[in-house]
Amino acid sequence: MAKSSPRGIYVIALTRTGAKTAELAAKGLGGVALVPEKFAADVDAEPFEEPVAEIIKKLWPLAGGFILIMAAGIAVRSIAPLIKDKYSDPAVVVMDPEGFYAVPLLSGHVGGANDLARELHDAVGAIPVITTATDALNKPAIESWALSLGYKFEPREGVVKVNSAWANGDGVVGYLDPALPKELFGDLRRHLSYTTSDLRQALSSGEVVVALSHREVEQEVDLLIRPPLVAIGVGCRKDADPARVEEGVLSALREGGISRLAVGVVASVDAKRDEEAIIKLAEKLGVEYATFTAEELGGYKTPNPSPRVEEAVGTPSVCEAAALAAAAGGDLILEKRSGGVWTLAAALIDISES
């Protein structure tokens, strides 16, 4: 097995000329070069004897990107059995042995193959040959834009609708939830027909609709993008069953009209710092778990304080106060909900100072 690459980039060549190009590319990209053993003595690279398809198969789960210096046909046959989807596959770029051209083959947007090809221009002078339609038309790929900002989205099929509309010269309308900051669309606005905070207006436009919202939306929208601007405060009994807490909290979010994909942080009191149920909930949501002292939480005025909670942990509110603390000045959008062994509240994170 080849040594690990800090960036997860592996540059694989098959010829003597390609081996020299691989060495340059690996140095320029902070990756690892792999070449046939008979050429390894001439360059700074890891040697291999196995068929190239086997090398790629072994490295596939570890890799963030491959630069395959070989015929495109060999590259395609080698990676074909490994391909799953654009959201999990590594970037794959094919390059000729002389390093004249760099052609992204797989995961051009989400995986970063297009950017990798552009980096190869600086590393070895290769001309990036970008074939994705949105790039060719100087339009953004909606999934790349969203993921670069840490936004999640649903449904995945909506990505194709938006990008296809741009590629075909059709209009895309942006809807922004009225509770969210106007600047969230940023420079994407110039690629939209218009933006509105009236969902009915957007849906009646006849164009593809991209909606930025933290709420569950009943109407059928082409693509819902979820900025991580919801802070949820969670309390629970000591050693509560993690599965019960997760199920209850996520159900309460749905009932409260809040998308779990919009959660940006889970918060609680310091006394619950090591509480397995809350830690696992944050892991499930893929977000940070933040805790605050009882004194910090006690400084927040909340609608549902509890003397019993104050007696137990030193503050009259855990979930509501923790949500407000994590929201950095934002307002509650979901007051305390309780499920016996858990409590939940949610606040909208204030990004006005960021």
Could you tell me what percent of the chain has a pLDDT over 90?
A: 84
pLDDT at 133: 80
Sign of CA dihedral 271, 274, 275, 278: positive
Structure tokens at 26: 């690996």
| Separate counts of helices (H) and strands (E) for the chain | 14, 17
pTM of the model: 0.79
- Average pLDDT on 61-69 reads 95
Q: Is 277 left (phi over 0), alpha (psi -120 to 50) or beta?
A: alpha
pLDDT band for position 135 (cuts 50, 70, 90): confident
208 Cβ contact partners less than 8 Å away, ≥ 6 residues apart: 161, 162, 165, 170, 171, 172, 173, 222, 223
Domain ranges of the chain: 9-131, 142-226, 230-348
- Average pLDDT on 316-322 reads 96
Side-chain half-sphere CA neighbours of 65 within 13 A: 29
Q: Is the pLDDT of residue 15 over 70?
A: yes
What is the overall mean pLDDT for the chain? 93
22 Cβ contact partners less than 8 Å away, ≥ 6 residues apart: 11, 12, 13, 33, 34, 35, 43, 45, 67, 69
pLDDT at 351: 82
Could you tell me what percent of the chain has a pLDDT over 70?
A: 98
Query: To which H or E segment does residue 212 belong?
Result: strand 208-212
Distance of CA 315 to the CA centre of its chain: 35
pLDDT one-digit tens code per residue, 280-307? 999 999 999 999 999 999 999 999 999 9
Q: Which of 91-95, 106-110, 325-329 has the lowest mean pLDDT?
A: 106-110
Residue 224 CB neighbours (<10 A) = 23
Q: Is the pLDDT of residue 113 over 80?
A: yes
pLDDT at 353: 60
Give the long-range contacts of residues 191-199, CB within 8 A, separation 24 or more: 191/139, 191/140, 191/166, 199/175
Q: Is the pLDDT of residue 123 over 60?
A: yes
Q: Which of 329-333, 345-349, 350-354 has the lowest mean pLDDT?
A: 350-354
Contact status, residue 13 vs residue 35, Cβ threshold 8 Å: yes
pLDDT at 218: 86
What is the gyration radius of the CA atoms in the chain, in angstroms?
25
pLDDT at 6: 63
pLDDT at 3: 66
Q: What CATH class is the domain 230-348? A: alpha beta
pLDDT at 5: 61
Please name the residue that has the structure tokens 């006005």. 352
Residue 200 CB neighbours (<10 A) = 10
Residue 44 CB neighbours (<10 A) = 14
Cα gap 221→202, rounded to integer Å = 9
- Average pLDDT on 211-225 reads 95
Q: Cis link prior to 155 (omega < 30° from 0)?
A: yes
β-bridge partners, 112: none
pLDDT at 245: 97
Q: Is the pLDDT of residue 352 over 90?
A: no
pLDDT band for position 108 (cuts 50, 70, 90): confident
Q: Is the pLDDT of residue 354 over 80?
A: no
pLDDT one-digit tens code per residue, 165-190? 999 999 999 999 999 998 899 989 99
3-state secondary structure of 139: coil
Q: Please provide the size of the chain in residues.
A: 354
pLDDT one-digit tens code per residue, 71-94? 999 999 999 999 998 888 999 999
Cα gap 25→61, rounded to integer Å = 21
Cα gap 173→199, rounded to integer Å = 10
Q: What would the CATH number be for the domain defined by 9-131?
A: 3.40.50.11220
- Average pLDDT on 45-54 reads 94
pLDDT at 111: 86
